[in-house]
Amino acid sequence: MNQSALFDGLLTYVFFIPLLTFHEWAHAWVAWKCGDDTAYHQGRVTLNPIAHMELIGTVVLPLLGIFLSLSNSALAGFIIGWGRPVPVNISNLRSPRRDDTLVALAGPAINVLLAFALLALVNGFALAGVSGFADVGKLMAQLSLFLCFFNLLPIPPLDGSHVLKNAIGMSYETYWKLCQYGFIIVIVAINIPGVRKVVALATEATYLAMLGILQLR
């Protein structure tokens, strides 16, 4: 087993947890501010990662994917990770379709803000003559942007599907029927080269734009 690859995989997983935590917290916080306190009463408006983790989706499958990738198993490409979905009662929202869209976009938005903040820290440390944080900060920023654009795919139950649903006026009944097959569709879609390329290009373009704004290399 390649110990260096294993270390990189586990390090990426360690970075994934706080980024996912902020993502789910943002959904819960915006839902609360828009009138739905369901997630608030379930303890989801918190930055405690345990509140947002799911045993299978956040622990077992991501770690299994890391170990399978080390053995070059084709199954590794079919494994994805996720956090515990934030419960939202649409009927509690003050403006259901508008607020549902805001709740959906909150997660990706916080990932963009985190990426920029991380790169700003890299820049600050560099100006102070401290370079040790650079690689870590850049890797976390890229991972945060990947989470943003992956979740914006218009596939139920990903965040982008809520935006599309509300934009075209899809009924909630139809949407929830589609959600029954959502994760299967997500797994298939992320293994389509074109879908991966779109997510990768959006991630890279945004990352490079941020580097340019902050004058980082």
DSSP 149-200: HHHTSSSTTSHHHHHHHHHHT--HHHHHHHHTTHHHHHHHHHTSHHHHHHHH
Give the pLDDT score at 154. Answer: 95
Query: Hey, CA dihedral for 156, 9, 17, 136, is it positive or negative?
Result: negative
Residue type, 68: L
Residue 115 has pLDDT above 60, yes or no: yes
Give the pLDDT score at 190. Answer: 84
Residue 191 has pLDDT above 70, yes or no: yes
Give the pLDDT score at 2. Answer: 66
Q: Is the peptide bond before 96 cis (omega within 30 degrees of 0)?
A: no
Whole-angstrom distance, CA of residue 104 vs CA of residue 170: 15
CA-based angle 136:140:144, to the nearest 5? Answer: 175
Give the pLDDT score at 79. Answer: 62
Other C-beta atoms within 10 Å of 184: how many?
Answer: 9
Give the pLDDT score at 75. Answer: 59
Give the pLDDT score at 194. Answer: 94
**Mean pLDDT (the chain, rounded):** 91
Span 26-81, pLDDT tens digits:
999 999 999 999 999 999 999 999 999 999 889 988 888 888 787 776 556 656 77
What are the tokens at 71?
Answer: 């053995």
Span 139-184, pLDDT tens digits:
999 999 999 999 999 999 999 999 999 999 999 899 999 999 888 8
State the DSSP code for 87.
P
Can you say whether residue 215 is alpha, beta or left, with left for phi > 0 and alpha for psi between -120 and 50 degrees? Answer: left
Give the pLDDT score at 8. Answer: 79
Span 71-103, pLDDT tens digits:
776 556 656 778 999 999 999 999 999 999 999
Give the pLDDT score at 197. Answer: 95
Residue 4 has pLDDT above 80, yes or no: no
Distances (CA, A) of 109 to 63, 134, 152, 209, 213: 26, 23, 10, 16, 18
- Share of residues in the chain with pLDDT > 90 (%): 67
State the DSSP code for 45.
S
- Please state the rounded mean pLDDT for residues 92-118: 98
Report long-range pairs for 152-161 (Cβ below 8 Å, ≥24 apart): 152/108, 153/186, 153/189, 153/195, 153/199, 155/182, 155/185, 155/186, 155/189, 156/181, 156/182, 156/185, 157/85, 157/182, 157/183, 158/182, 158/186, 159/104, 159/105, 159/107, 159/108, 160/104
Whole-angstrom distance, CA of residue 209 vs CA of residue 108: 17
Look up the pTM and report it.
Answer: 0.92
Whole-angstrom distance, CA of residue 136 vs CA of residue 140: 6
Give the pLDDT score at 159. Answer: 97
Which active-site residues does the annotation give?
24
Residue 195 has pLDDT above 80, yes or no: yes
